[in-house]
Structure 1
């Protein structure tokens, strides 16, 4: 039997947190713990990494849920599902910047919780196992890649690619002339590309080192696109830059 996913609950209302823990446990998920403060959640994620985090956006204390997710992602690429009763547009836009897998509105019902967590768990399994690319979907050569686009194979020189962004079971190859979507995981493409030219900087991004415009503390910029950097990949990125 496949082991169920491990979930960290970050919620400062203990009644809600206990209810979440009970319902998820009844669905055979493993609860790694319940944390009520952002700082404790960040530490918990480092010491006992879960497969996903159920995160209340409106945590009380120095770190709200959005900032807590951001701090977690500085060290680890752990999927986040936000719990929110807040319909404030500014908060929602801040939350979107952390690339959550889903939002669950409060008050939630058991079915919404079950379906949302199950969908995210399935996404994680698919990303781990990898989808089966369609025959001829991607072919990487020394200085170019052939991809299927509009029913035919087209050539892209690797030097044309600015960055590659994972989109669940697909990858988006961004160039100055447009974007191309292929059925392939980022992990698969990473294994084919020259790692002296392309480097992973985040769970969802690889970048062409020659195309970097800005390298900041927590992000990169390429052709005005802001790309997050995870701490787990930053050391590797800086080492590659020093060899250029």
Structure 2
């Protein structure tokens, strides 16, 4: 994980501080994903774009504090958070700890402390990726999947997935326009995908049941792809089709 590939979202309602942060982060080689003053906007941004790191002011103006915002975000996706705070009291610190932040930066901060703190967090993120290098980071929300690709999280709507095919320790995710090769097992995908839309029909295939074109005795077809139906999966598939 190189610095230039790390996307950082700034959530800060003081625009002078936010602009200063943006300039310094850019000069250090990081990508600034955006500057947002409100927690509600940050939640929407993360769900849509999934940056890799958050710089979050604890005392945001508006309905949500930085801590409230972090709690809401972590319900959907686990993103490392560094808090910015002018408060060093124990009560604020203890409340913030509940969201498991990676670090705190106390205002007013200087470039050196910012640089060192973020560098340490990025290194920890890198070590975490290396320790789990055989399993690709995948996040699935209500209607979309985020897949880590070239250091970024790419969005794909679940309704666009036709089927998923296993290839040893990889999964090939097929859409009408493109295929994605994921470094995870089919079992991991089966556990993550919503069972209302996806069903395993063979030891090597999961299908989007809404994309089913043809159902034969021992096979089915989706987009002209012939997919075998495993004997142990056939009854469940037939039951699901009857309930559609």
For the superposition of Structure 1 and Structure 2, which TM-score range results when normalised by the shorter chain? 0.5 to 0.7
Residue 91 (structure 1) shift: 1.3
Please state if 1:117 is matched with 2:118: yes
**What is the DSSP-based 3-state SS (H/G/I as helix, E as strand, rest coil) of the residue aligned with 1:99?**
coil
In structure 1, the residue matched to 2:75 is: 74
Hey, what's the Cα distance between the residues in 1 that align with 2:125 and 2:31? 15
Alignment gaps of 5+ in structure 2 = 134-183, 193-244
Within 5 A, what are the aligned runs for 1:45-64?
A: 45-64=46-65
The alignment of Structure 1 onto Structure 2 pairs a total of residues equal to 138
In structure 1, the residue matched to 2:88 is: 87
Residue 36 (structure 1) shift: 0.2
Residue 131 (structure 1) shift: 8.1
Residue 88 (structure 1) shift: 2.4
Aligned residues: CA RMSD: 2.3
Alignment gaps of 5+ in structure 1 = 133-190, 201-244
Query: Radius of gyration: which is bigger?
Result: 2
In structure 2, the residue matched to 1:146 is: none
Within 5 A, what are the aligned runs for 1:1-244?
A: 2=2, 3-130=4-131
Q: Deviations over 1:108-143 (max 9, x none)?
A: 0000000000110111111011189xxxxxxxxxxx
Hey, what's the Cα distance between the residues in 1 that align with 2:103 and 2:88? 15
Hey, what's the Cα distance between the residues in 2 that align with 1:30 and 1:88? 31
- Runs (4+) off by over 6 Å: none
Residue 4 (structure 1) shift: 2.7
* Greater CA drift, 1-10 or 37-46: 1-10
Residue 20 (structure 1) shift: 0.1
**TM-score of the superposed pair, with normalisation by structure 1:** 0.53
Q: Deviations over 1:37-93 (max 9, x none)?
A: 000001101111111100000001100000000001010000000000012221111
